[in-house]
Structure 1
Amino acid sequence: MSRFNSFREFYPFYLSEHSHRTSRRLHFIGSCVAIVCVMLAVAQSNAWWVLAALVSGYAFAWVGHFFFEKNRPATFKHPFYSFAGDWVMFKDILTGRVKL
């Protein structure tokens, strides 16, 4: 992985690391579960749900990487860009820019 000067440079690389349809679906499911967990954290005033959001979101994503993409998640070298990429791809899936 090369060094990126901006998220704009990083995002095409991020999408290339998510070319397998099942991997993108797992990322999307993980993001949905994470949103529900954050909502539960707020509704129940229980911070443990925030931890559950992080664990569930990454668990689904990493299954996609290790078993379908057969690559190493960008999170390990670019944690902030990768986290942002997860949510931009989620939005792009919702708007139809990225196919499930």
Structure 2
Amino acid sequence: MPEPITETLSREPTYAEFWPRYLRAHARPATRAVHCAGTATAVALVATSIFRRDWRLAAMAPLVGYGAAWGAHFGLEGNKPATFGHPVWALLSDARMAALMLTGRLGPHLEKAGLDPHR
């Protein structure tokens, strides 16, 4: 089972320490894919809400984004979402992971975190 991202430390981790733990909590490619799809859909909802001037679409964005991510953690990865322990860093890391995935640059980050980027 992957290490919990909310493991107890004697101090708060730096973001540089948090990032590899975040990636290890997303070890399965399917988990990362669901996160990426949820993030992309949430961004599209916000953009569409601005374009259409319909706040209801923006209100749906967190439900879709977090719903997908939490579903992936509980259903696929079998761990607790990082949002529960570090909500801001988890949100930033989710966007970072999605951007790196979409641009094909996530592999080196996975390797550095001790994960097989081809798995």
Structure 1 segments of 4+ aligned residues over 3 angstroms from their partners: none
| Sequence identity percentage | 32
Q: Which has the larger radius of gyration?
A: 2
Provide TM-score, normalisation by structure 2.
Answer: 0.77
Alignment correspondent of 1:81:
89
**Which stretches in structure 1 are left out of the alignment for 5+ residues?**
none
Alignment correspondent of 1:95:
103
Q: C-alpha root-mean-square deviation of aligned residues, in Å?
A: 1.5
Alignment correspondent of 1:33:
41
Q: Which has the higher helix share?
A: 1
Alignment correspondent of 1:4:
13
| Greater Cα offset, 9-18 or 90-99 | 90-99
Measure the CA separation in 1 of the matches of 2:85 and 2:17: 15
Structure 2: which amino acid aligns with 1:32?
A
Provide TM-score, normalisation by structure 1.
Answer: 0.91
> Matched residue pairs, number?
99
Structure 1: which amino acid aligns with 2:37?
I
